[in-house]
Amino acid sequence: MVKFSKELEAQLIPEWKEAFVNYRQLKKHIKRIKLNRVSKQLQAPEETFGRSVFDSFRFITNKFCNSDNNHKQDMIQVRRKTTEESEEVYETELAQLFSEEDEVQVFFAKLDGELNKINQFYKKQETEFIERGEMLSKQLNILLDLKQILSDRHKKNPSLKPSNTGVFPHPPGQESIGESIHDNSEVSQMDEVISTLERNGLSFANSAMRVKTKKKGKPHMAIRIDIPATTPTAVTSMLWEDLVNSPIKPEYGGEFINKRKIQCAEKMIRSAFVELYKGLGLLKTYSSLNMVAFTKILKKFDKVSSQKASANYMKEVKRSHFISSDKVVRLMDEVESIFTKHFANNDRKRAMKFLRPQQPKVSHTVTFLVGLCTGCSVSLFCVYVILAHMCGIFSPSTEPAYMDAVYPVSSVFALLSLHLFMYGCNLYMWKSTRINHNFIFEFSPSTALKHRDAFLMCTTLMTTVFGAMVVHLLLRAGGFSPGQVDAIPGIIFLFFVGLLICPFDIFYRPTRFCFIRVIRNIVCSPFYKVLLVDFFMADQLTSQIPLLRHLETTGCHIFARVFKSHHPEACHSGRLYIEITYLISFLPYWWRALQCARRWFDDRDVNHLANMGKYVSAMVAAGARVTYSRQDSHLWFAIVLITSVVATFYQLYWDFFKDWGFFNPKSKNPCLRDDLILKNKCIYYMSIVSSLLPLL
């Protein structure tokens, strides 16, 4: 049977870990009470002589009398007190002396502290969720009213395109937002939109309208809208960024609410309702787990103290806010009804698929396929080594041509397979340590890659590559022309590229399309808002420069040997090859530096500029190394040495002090930080040592 402490650790929400009851610490206090009780019993002298029959009779009488009094008198009294901040706190007083009075007082003081902490956290989260629900309801009402206005206008004038109607924004100030309402027919339509916004809490600062003239001479009217400072900003900012806060372009008539933006806003609000419902479910789980923890710990106390003190305390726990409040349950019911009505066409079953998605069942088929592919890849590799020696591939006469044709493309897939394997190990470790990486990276839990899936992709890739290498050797030994045989690596490469962009729902299509979207965001870094998954993948690309170099060589040899576009020697010494080598060495660091610049532009945080300096220094060092490989001189060696040392120490400083937060002199963990996710500190020290190994 699993102990409750381990069960609690397995079920608690990692983000709220500190807010849960400290079950282990309370158990330690109970154990301390038990040890003190045992030690006192051992130290007490055994009175075996001098007793009479009346002593035994008196002992039995006192025992029965005390048991009756114990039922009549409460051993502890839990009192509610109100602090100066109008917060209710609990304090326990001992109404009956215990043999270990000091330890019992400490225990109940700790228990009161945990109960007060849970109540305060629950009230705070409950208030935040209620405010978020009110905000979403308000935004949903605005959206529904605007949809109704646009629908009515389209019905009155079917020839009017939806993109030609809507609300035009005006450049906002800090406390007010300018809005322009374009009307092709009547001013009453503008009044309708104004009244709609006023019903949802938006007040108009200036009722006077200003008439502006566009390029084609058609006037449109502008009006000032005052958005209250109390307007929520979580999802509202996302909605108003598209619907209200877009910058105006007078020469083009400005941005406006159209059907596409309405659909985009509807999708955002739907996702916000799903996240709200998920958060409410987590808060409900938080309440139930803490209730069970209090029940378990008080039962242990009764067992150790041989008293029945838990009943009175449990009454107060059940009366406390985190148990007695039903606001979360009522809000969950309200979200279910709203979602069913507005986002599921009154189909409750369909709504529950969004609000309570079923977790995919763990299939052992993937594990079996991983083992099968691993065995096949190892067998094919052994067959390849035997055939290579039998065919004399590694002899001095045939080795250079063969290595130029096969080695680069094989290295690409080998490095990619190794990267997938390491990513699978990361997924496994994140799952083991209960790190919610799907939430951090904003992945969908139903389609997110699991560690078994990453291992399957890795082993499938290597099995295919080793099989192609064996076929390549067999065809080469069979007397086929080198031009035809050397096309096999190119075919394999094109096959995997085609599989990556395949539109059919096969071989992890959501993951493939997500990868393509992230790569697009990285390539176009300055033009897209940088998300965590974007710069995570960009950091991975900075470690895959050898893979990109091999990819360049592979493409060059494919065109040289199959399409006869140029001589294969140009793939190592040609001017174009050297320029592309420079470009590949720069690009990953360049993309990452642009991401830091965009984040500084969005957040105005100077740390992003300092982080950009790290990648600029790495870019300079990479360019110096490429130049030194072409121009072997003492000057370039000195430049490579200086730039590499600067870039390396810059990166190590940023990793240790900024990203990881290590070497904090005030930390309770030597050379580390205070908050550690992994219990084994040796893993952190090994990470530090492994980062320093390249310097040796």
Tell me, what's the pLDDT at 676? 84
Residue 512: phi and psi, rounded to 5, are: -65, -45
Domain ranges of the chain: 20-41+75-155+255-346, 365-591
Tell me, what's the pLDDT at 393? 73
In which residue are the tokens 């007040």 written?
A: 203
Q: State pLDDT tens for residues 525-547.
A: 888 889 999 989 999 999 888 88
Tell me, what's the pLDDT at 255? 40
Across the range 562-576, mean pLDDT stands at: 69
Is the pLDDT assigned to residue 286 strictly greater than 80?
yes
Across the range 447-472, mean pLDDT stands at: 91
Tell me, what's the pLDDT at 234? 38
Helices (H), 251-398: 259-305, 310-319, 321-324, 327-343, 348-355, 364-391
Among 182-191, 367-376, 612-621, 639-648, the least confident range: 182-191
Structure confidence at residue 170 as a pLDDT band (50, 70, 90): very low
d(CA 276, CA 261): 22
Q: State pLDDT tens for residues 220-276.
A: 444 343 434 333 333 344 444 444 444 444 344 444 456 777 788 888 899 899 999
Is the pLDDT assigned to residue 428 strictly greater than 50?
yes
Tell me, what's the pLDDT at 434? 79
Phi-psi region of 179 (alpha: psi -120 to 50; beta: other; left: phi over 0): beta
DSSP for 41-99, written as a single string: HHHSPP--SS--HHHHHHHHHHHHHHHHHHHHS-SEEEEEEE-TTS-EEEEEEESS--T
Indicate yes or no: pTM above 0.75. Answer: no
Contact 265, 178 (CB under 8 A): no
Among the listed residues 255, 220, 229, the one whose alpha carbon sits nearest the alpha carbon of residue 241: 255
DSSP for 180-234, written as a single string: EEE-SS-HHHHHHHHHHHHHTT-EEEEEEEEEEE-TTS-EEEEEEEE--TTS--T
Across the range 593-619, mean pLDDT stands at: 93
* Enclosing H/E stretch for 577: helix 575-603
Structure confidence at residue 183 as a pLDDT band (50, 70, 90): very low
Is the pLDDT assigned to residue 436 strictly greater than 90?
no
Across the range 166-194, mean pLDDT stands at: 45
Contact 654, 612 (CB under 8 A): no
Percent of the chain with pLDDT over 70: 73
| Structure token digits, residue 86 | 């109008």
Tell me, what's the pLDDT at 202? 56
Across the range 449-466, mean pLDDT stands at: 92
d(CA 95, CA 309): 10
d(CA 675, CA 655): 17
Mean pLDDT: which of 23-32, 41-50, 104-113, 417-426 is highest? Answer: 417-426
Strand 203-213: give its sheet, edge to edge: 166-170, 177-182, 219-226, 203-213
